[in-house]
Amino acid sequence: MAVLILAMMAATVIEKVAGTPEAFSLVYHNPLFFILWGVAAVSGIVLLLRSGAGKKVAVMGIHLSFVLILSGALVTFLTGEKGTVRLEKGVETSRYQRQDGTSVPLGFSLTMTDFSIPLYAGSAAASDYVTQIGWKDGPEGGKAEISMNHIFRYNGYRFYQAGYEQDGNTSILSVNHDPWGIGLTYAGYLCLLLSMIGFLFRKDSRFRLVLKRVTSVSAVLFLFLLPQPSSARESDVPPVVPEDVAEAFGQLYVYYNDRVAPMETMTRDYCMKAYGKPSWKSYSAEQVVTGWLFYYDWWNVIPFKLKAKDRGTVKEAEKERIRMDVATGKAFKIFPVALPDSLVTRNPGLQKIVWFSCDDPLPEGMDYNQWVFIRKSLDLVHDEIQGENWDEVIRILGQIRKYQEKTASEVLPPARKVRAERLYNRIFRPRIPFMATITLGLILFVLFGISFGKGRPVRKGLQHSVAVLAALLWLYLTAVLVLRWYVSGHAPLSGSYSVMMLMAWLSTLSILLLYRKFPMIEPLGLLVAGFTMLVASMAGANPQITHLMPVLQSPLLSIHVLSMMISYTLFALVAMNGIMGLALPGKEASQRLMDISLVVLYPAVFLLTAGTFLGAVWANVSWGSYWAWDPKETWALVTMLIYAAALHGGSLKAFRRPRFFHTFCILAFLAVLVTYFGVNLFLGGMHSYA
C-alpha cells in the first residue's frame, strides 16, 4: 500500500510536468500498478482471515467492498467503451465515435428534435443545456430529454450532455457502454457504506472501546481576548459625495457578474479588488467608486494595494482597468432595455431584458426619449455633483431607479432578497471574528494542555462560558452561510470561501455538540474555525456571488462536498490534538489524547471514504466516468489510504505508541492540505476550481 501511495503521488507530479498521457502510461495503466492493487487486496483479505477479524461481519464487509470496487474498476478498464455522438437537428444517427476515432454502430438510432439553453431569470448565464431526442430500435421507439445531471439510458448505453454548436442545431453527447463494471463498482460502494455504518454501531469495535475510555476525560479553562479594531482618518483625502448620495447610488440595480444585483455589491467588489478592503479609510465603497467616476483626477493618484513585486505587472494593470471602466461609465450596466419580441424569437439565446451602460451601443429603433435618458443621465448627475446640488443628484438617481423598476420589473430580484444581500455585504468579511477566534484558541490550547497534563479539574462554569462564545460564533457563521445561500439560490458548497466558512461552521458546531464529553474540543475547534476563517479571508478576498454552473446542480454534489468538508475538519482537529499530544509530558496524557484522536479519526476516515465515492457516483451521472485519475480524485484516495493506516493498530503495532501515532496524524494532515490547496494551486485538473 505504501508503494501504491507513493506511485499515485508521483503520477500527479508526472501529469503536471509531462502531461496526462505520460502519467497514464508510466503509472495508472502500467501492468505493475494493476498487480500491486491485486496483491494489496489479496494480502489484506488473507491477513484479515488469519487474525480472526474476518469473523466480524462489518470488518469483513469493509475489506471485501474494496475488492468489489477494484474488480469493478478492472472490468470497466477491460470492457468499458466511451465515445461521442454528434446529433444534428432532424438527422437520424445510428453510430458513435470511440476515443480512438473508430466509428461504431449503436444498434439503434437517435434523432435530435430540439436543443435549448435555459437561462437564469434576468441573466445571460445558462442554467442548463437540454437536448430533446427521439430514439428508434426496430418497431420500438420513444422520446427522451438529456441535460446536465439527467442522462438517457438504453440497451446498456448511457448518454450525457457534453457540448453543442453555437447555432443550436448540433448537440454533442458523451456515450458510455459499461453495463458490468459500473454495477460491480456500485455494489462495492453500497457494501462499503453499510459496513462502515455497521462498524460504528458494533459494541466490541475498537471505536466503541476507545469511546468509552474517552467519555471520562474532562478538563477545561477559559480566557478570552478580543482585539479592538482601530480606525483613523487622515485629512489629506480626495473628495467624495455625501453619505446619503452614496447610499442612493448603492440602491440602484446593476447587471454585474451575469446577474442583477444591488449596486452596493459591485462597488464593494471593486473596492476590495483595488484596496483589499470593502472601504477606503473612513469612506464607504459607494463613495470610493463614485469618486472614481466623478472625481477621477483626484482619485487617480491614490495608490492601489499591491506588493512590491506586483507593481508594473498584470495585477496592477487589472486594478487600473477596473478603475478606468468605472471612470468611463462602462462598468455601470444600469439601464435595462426590453427588446422586441421579433428579435428575441429570431435569436433563441437572447434574453428579453438586456442591460446597457451609458456608453454601450444601443439597439436600433429605440424610442428617442429613452435613448437620451440612457445616454445623458450620468452626465446630468455629474453636472449636479460639480455644483454640489445634492438634493437634485438624489432626485435623478431616484428617476433612474424608477426607470429600472418600470422596465425590468419581471427580472429584478425581490426586495427581501436585495435586503438580504445588502445585509450579507456588511457581515460576510470574517477578519475580526477570525482574529478573536485564533487568539482565544491559542490561549486555551496552552492552558488546556497544562491542565490536561496535570489532570487538574476545572469549574463547569468556565467550560460553559467558552461554549457560549462558540455559540455566538456559530450564529454569526450560520447567518453568513444562510444569507449567501438565499442570495445566490444554491447551497454554499462550491468555491474556496464558501467551503472554508463551512468548515469553520462545522468546527464550532462540533464544540457545541461535544464539549460536555470531550472538553478538549473547545480549543481545538476554535483553532480550526479561526484558521479556516483566516483562509476564507485570504483566498476569498473577493468571493463574488455567482450563478451555479449547470453541472454543479446536483444533490449528490452537495452531499459529497459536505462529507469531504466534515472529514477535513475532523482531520484538522486530530492534527491539533497531535500537537498537544507531543507537547505534553507524561505517557498517560499522551495516551488519553490518542484515544480522543481515534474517536474522531474513525468517523473522519469513513466520511472521507463515503464522500470520495459519492463524488464518483456524481461524476458518473454528470459526465459518464466515475473515476478518471484526476489529481483531486487521486489525492483524495491517497489521503484516505494514509489515514486508514492509523486505524490498523492491530496489525501495524507502531500505531499503538501514542507519540508515533500523534506524529503520524500531524504529518498525515499534509495530505489533506495537498488535496484541497495543493491540487488547486499547483497540480490543476478538472477539480482545480473546487
What confidence tens digit (pLDDT) does each residue in 604-656 have?
899 899 989 888 888 887 777 788 888 988 999 999 999 999 998 878 888 88
pLDDT given for residue 26 in this prediction: 94
Burial of 302 (0-12, 13-18, 19+ CB in 10 A): middle
Helices (H), 161-303: 181-201, 206-214, 243-250, 263-275, 285-294, 296-299
pLDDT given for residue 548 in this prediction: 55
**Whole-prediction pTM:** 0.67
pLDDT given for residue 225 in this prediction: 31
Q: Is the dihedral of CA 32, 35, 40, 46 positive or negative?
A: negative
| HSE value, Cβ hemisphere, 13 Å, CA-based, for 17 | 7
Report the distance separating Cα 689 and Cα 674, nearest Å.
Answer: 14
Determine contact, residues 161/148, Cβ cutoff 8 Å: yes
pLDDT given for residue 2 in this prediction: 92
pLDDT given for residue 423 in this prediction: 85
Strand partners, 89: 112
Q: Is the dihedral of CA 344, 350, 351, 354 positive or negative?
A: negative
pLDDT given for residue 427 in this prediction: 78
Q: Where are the beta strands (DSSP E) in 63-184?
A: 81-88, 92-98, 103-116, 130-137, 140-147, 152-154, 157-164, 170-177
Instruction: Write out the DSSP string of 528-583.
Output: HHHHHHHHHHHHTSS----PPPGGG--HHHHHHHHHHHHHHHHHHHHHHHHHHHHH
Q: Which stretches in the chain have pLDDT values below 50?
A: 216-235, 539-541, 688-690
pLDDT given for residue 187 in this prediction: 92
Strand partners, 34: none
Q: Is the dihedral of CA 203, 206, 209, 211 positive or negative?
A: negative
pLDDT given for residue 229 in this prediction: 39
Report the distance separating Cα 408 and Cα 260, nearest Å.
Answer: 10
59-62's contacts with Cβ under 8 Å and 24+ in sequence apart are 59/195, 59/199, 60/195, 61/191, 61/192, 61/194, 61/195, 61/198, 62/192, 62/195, 62/196, 62/199
Helices (H), 356-389: 368-386
pLDDT given for residue 121 in this prediction: 63
The 8-class DSSP code of residue 154 comes to E
Report the distance separating Cα 243 and Cα 249, nearest Å.
Answer: 10
